[in-house]
Amino acid sequence: MNAADKIFIENCKEILQNGVWDNEYDVRPRWEDGTPAHTIKKFGIVNRYNLEESFPILTLRKTNFKAAVDELLWIWQKKSNNVNDLDSHIWDSWADGTGSIGKAYGYQLGIKHKYKEGEFNQVDRVIYDLKNNPYSRRILTNIYNFEDLHEMHLYPCAYSMTFNVSGNKLNAILNQRSQDMLAANNWNVVQYSILVHMMAQISGLEAGELVHVIADAHIYDRHVPIIEELIKNKSFDAPKIEVDKNITDFYDFKVDSFKLIDYKFNPVKIKVPIAV
């Protein structure tokens, strides 16, 4: 069984067997019909993915690789907070009439900050440090800006990345305050694995390890039967990731710069209801 499937199955079983329900509380999320969307959760899950060994994408079902990469580039390259710059509709529920999601996600990465070397936005500062001071222990981003929370249509879920170089390996920690296991778990793992590959390549490094820290890992009530069936599916070998080696500028990467080689998965059709 490949690593991504194994980790996902173990996480889901742990949540379902030992998690805590919030049925007694008045929760914020609602289903489309207005019904409260309750969850069963585990606090403080930590997963480790060795990007040298395999690319961590689920084979229990298909993860929409191109759409995941497109959203990553929307946030980290375009630094956009407008769904009109995105090729999918995953953010439509949180967008206003102009397409804006408020001062969230890409907006925060695009804000320039003062450093002794000059002004940088958070992404460009990471790139600068990886190229000029790779052994720094201060290479990180954080988009959970308390000053702007009231102007965000959704508080950031995946909110910080810490990059750390060991030898010629680029490792990273993704911190996430909240994780919908069915809708978003492997989606985020795929995205930030790609980000590590991108940052490593433009810095002359090799992708090492992604550590994913989830504060509130939960399964929604209407997702439980879907998860129970999903984790019974057959697991295939992990595909290989192929990155266009000609790219040396972070802003030159495109969705098609990344290819999965021999991606086999269960062809199950899953309709995932989304709580907002």
Nearest in space to 210 (alpha carbons), one of 201, 219, 197, 222 = 197
Any binding-site annotation on 180?
yes
Catalytic residue among 157, 183, 213, 255: 157
Q: How far is CA 219 from the centre of its chain?
A: 17
Assign 133 to helix, strand or coil: coil
118-121 and 39-50 as β-strands: parallel, antiparallel, unpaired?
Answer: unpaired
Any binding-site annotation on 219?
yes
Residue 12 is a catalytic residue: no
240-243 and 158-166 as β-strands: parallel, antiparallel, unpaired?
Answer: unpaired
Any binding-site annotation on 179?
yes
Any binding-site annotation on 222?
no
Tell me the angle at which helices 65-76 and 181-202 cross, rounded to the nearest 10 degrees: 60
Any binding-site annotation on 137?
yes
Query: Which residue do the tokens 């500062």 mark?
Result: 125
CA 139, CA 120: separation in Å to the nearest integer? Answer: 13
Any binding-site annotation on 238?
no
Any binding-site annotation on 87?
no
CA 127, CA 28: separation in Å to the nearest integer? Answer: 37
Assign 212 to helix, strand or coil: strand
CA 215, CA 91: separation in Å to the nearest integer? Answer: 22
Any binding-site annotation on 177?
yes
Any binding-site annotation on 218?
yes
- DSSP letters spanning 42-103: EEEEEEEEETTT-----SSS---HHHHHHHHHHHHTS---BGGG-SS-TTGGG--TTSB-BS
Any binding-site annotation on 30?
no
Tell me the angle at which helices 122-132 and 181-202 cross, rounded to the nearest 10 degrees: 50
The binding site comprises: 64, 137-138, 177-180, 188, 218-220, 275
The residues carrying an active-site annotation are 157
Q: Residues marked as binding for dUMP?
A: 137-138, 177-180, 188, 218-220
